Amino acid sequence: MTQATPVAGDNRTVVVKIGSSSLTDTSADGAAHGGIRLAAVEKLCSEAAELRAEGHSVVLVSSGAIAAGWAALGGGPRPSDPVVLQAVAAVGQHRLMRVYDDALGRRGLHVGQVLLAPLDFAHRQQYLHARQTLANLLQLGVVPVVNENDATSDDEIRFGDNDRLAALVAHLVAADLLVLLTDTAGLHSADPRTSAEASLIEEVVEVDHVLEAVAGGAGTVVGSGGMVSKLAAAKMASWSGVPTVIADAGRPGVLRAALDGEPGTGTVFRARGRRLPARKLWIAFALAPNGVLRVDDGARRALVEAEASLLPAGITGVEGRFAPDDAVEIIGPDGVVFAKGLARHSAELVSSWAGRRTSELPEGTAHEVVHRDDLVVLV
């Protein structure tokens, strides 16, 4: 592995995400018997305080509110009803923050709770407001602890897991590094839980379909992500110009090692040269597609090479049931998804317009099916 090159400058901003599997006491059946593991929080806060003492800014993205709330309510097998989980999160969020407040307070640091919702990234004014809030907290020397606003999030409009949220926060604060802490040493060539031949992949230059297949399925019962979501988050961060390290939360000095680019710390994902704007990052990686638009080669070239909007003339097929502003994938003649965007019209209307020239369409309505401002080329 080539050692990660430290970011130039003395003071860096690091976003650190830790998941429920690393924070909570659980058994094989998913029962959160002990709630938050205080030792895990102490370790994380101790390492974060060391970075703060050196002048670096640290943002923590922490799962654990639902696990903490369910333990407080008696524990047992975790419920699956989203409405119940929202209520449990309301019970657990302040308990989680109290643990962080105590741990960081003993080290002379103040904590700021920041609860974010997907719309904070989808709408520019809310995005700018969230960015300013975090910037002010960091300027005041506060350690922000970020979580999704689980208690009130719409189940249809949510991040899905804190890995993706952490990647979006890394973009929000223009982080120099994203560290995703988990219960394994990083991304492996196979599932280390089932294969003795699994080896650590120490460096990733580009996330592709082969690597996504290696990542496998979901993680623990108490977690919502797994390696798949961490890989997606690393890809999001890479596209926003932020390098990522996936590493073991239990490794001594893991934050210091990740920031220094110490070989073997975990899996390092290189940042792409071109930084994707926050809204397009959200469209590309955080929104689930509700449909598919198939296009001809001419439309594909126009979107990829000319950065044009998608017009009905180039559409050869429409799949799924989507409404205006829903996310859709765009597939070329080869059957490969090469772009994603927000549809301006419903699936029914787009189907009726497919293949028709602009002069053949009714006047008084926007003719773009996906406007270039709402479109992200993924190749």
Helix (H, G, I), strand (E, B) or coil at 178: strand
Report the Cα 197 to chain-centroid distance in Å: 29
**Whole-prediction pTM:** 0.81
Distances (CA, A) of 143 to 107, 111, 146, 249: 12, 5, 10, 19
Amino acid letter, residue 43: K
- For the chain, the 3-state helix, strand and coil shares in percent, each to the nearest 5, are 40, 20, 45
Dist CA 65 CA 153 (whole Å): 14
From first to last of the 379 residues of the chain, give the pLDDT tens digit.
344 444 444 789 999 999 888 887 754 444 444 478 899 999 999 999 999 999 999 999 998 888 888 888 987 777 888 888 889 889 999 999 999 999 999 999 999 999 998 778 777 788 889 999 999 999 999 999 999 886 666 544 455 678 989 999 999 999 999 999 998 888 888 777 777 777 888 888 887 777 766 666 444 434 345 788 898 899 889 988 999 999 999 999 999 999 999 999 999 999 987 778 878 888 887 788 999 999 999 999 999 999 999 999 999 999 999 999 999 999 999 999 999 999 999 999 999 999 999 999 988 889 999 999 999 998 7
Instruction: Write phi, then psi, for 30 (nearest 5 degrees).
Output: 90, 10
What is the rounded CA–CA span in Å between residue 257 and residue 329?
39
Domains contained in the chain, CATH given: 13-277 (3.40.1160.10), 288-377 (2.30.130.10)
What does the radius of gyration of the chain's CA atoms come to, in whole angstroms? 22
Phi and psi based region of residue 155 (left: phi greater than 0; alpha: psi -120 to 50; beta: remaining)? alpha
